[in-house]
Amino acid sequence: MAEFLVVPQWQGSPSARAMLLVDGASAIAGDLPRRATTVLDIPLEAGESLGTGVHRLSSVQRIRTMIADAMAPDTVLIGGDCSITVAALDTLERDDLALVWFDAHPDLHTDASSPSGAFSGMALRAILGEGEPQLALTPGLSPERVISVGARVIDAGEEEPLARLGRLDIRDLDDPGALAAAVARTGASRVWIHIDVDVLDPAEMAGVSSAAPFGASPAAVVAAIRAVRDVMPLAGATIAGFAPRSPADAVDDLGAILRLVGAVA
């Protein structure tokens, strides 16, 4: 059975409603098997940038250490914001690892290009080993091992790094085997699957900080993940970005969330 690590980090988010990520993580945790679930006690303070271009850097660093101490094999992280995946991958051997990044936003800014200074928007760039040195992975993951799926809100500063990655659009998910074929082409022997729930269409998932139209259906994402698992074992997974505006909204979205949990766990 997978181990679940719930990380209700909000400090990496650019949203004015970032604290809703705490509620989202708690809502998901309530439906996970208790014996297999660890919930980190994330500090509530915002933290300081420490002279860098990354807002709340001190808190992000502190939580990164907490994640490292709690990681176990086959862990599924539940966020919280997307940058928790950087901390998780920092604990793994990455020589044989591929990464699938389901997200409406490519998260490929650096502190120099980011309009917000929020680390979640820099998360995938940090995984490539670029950006703020205190947060970037060393060594970074090779771009040839990274596949961005569903990115459709792309800033100018993200276009060049995105062009270096493998990439699938939402319509590519009409073929359940397209992602599995792309992962197999990386030559990796394990894969981490990261899912920001804003990759889903707003009609399917309302509880996100920044909804983007023309997203995927839960069925298409689940089918793609299952096809990947047929060709390559998971090293772990992340489900992040759930920010319901009320308990009632959380209930409405949890069906889709739990389908994603089932696919990766």
Q: What confidence tens digit (pLDDT) does each residue in 145-204 have? A: 999 999 999 999 999 999 999 999 999 999 999 999 999 999 999 999 999 999 999 999
Residue type, 254: L
- Backbone torsions φ then ψ of 74, nearest 5 degrees: 60, 35
Q: What is the pLDDT of residue 197?
A: 98
pLDDT surpassing 90 at residue 1 = no
Q: Tell me what the mean pLDDT of segment 65-79 comes to.
A: 96
**Tokens 């719930």 identify what position?**
6
Q: What is the pLDDT of residue 265?
A: 94
CA distance 6 to 135: 21
Q: What is the pLDDT of residue 51?
A: 96
Which residues touch 32 (CB under 8 Å, ≥6 apart)? 4, 6, 78, 261
Q: What is the pLDDT of residue 260?
A: 98
Q: What is the pLDDT of residue 224?
A: 98
Give the burial string for 160-182 (b: 16+ CB within 10 Å, else e): ebbeebbbbebebbeebebbbeb
Handedness of CA 54, 56, 61, 63 (dihedral sign): negative
CA distance 192 to 74: 10
CA distance 142 to 165: 9
Confidence label for 76 from pLDDT (cuts 50, 70 and 90): very high
CA distance 235 to 2: 11
Instruction: Return the percent helix, strand and coil in the chain, to nearest 5.
Output: 40, 15, 45
Q: What is the pLDDT of residues 97-142, one digit of tens each?
A: 999 999 999 999 999 999 999 999 999 999 999 999 999 999 999 9
Q: What is the pLDDT of residue 228?
A: 98
Q: What is the pLDDT of residues 198-249, one digit of tens each?
A: 999 999 999 999 999 999 999 999 999 999 999 999 999 999 999 999 999 9
Could you say which DSSP state residue 140 is in? Answer: P
- Judged by phi (left if over 0) then psi (alpha if -120 to 50, else beta), residue 236 lies in left
Q: Which two tokens stand for residue 10?
A: 């909000």
Q: What is the pLDDT of residue 28?
A: 98
Q: What is the pLDDT of residue 18?
A: 96
Radius of gyration in angstroms for the set of CA atoms belonging to the chain, rounded to a whole number: 16
Return the closest-CA partner of residue 107 out of 179, 162, 60, 144.
162
Neighbours of 4 (CB within 10 A): 22
Q: What is the pLDDT of residue 9?
A: 98
Residue type, 263: A
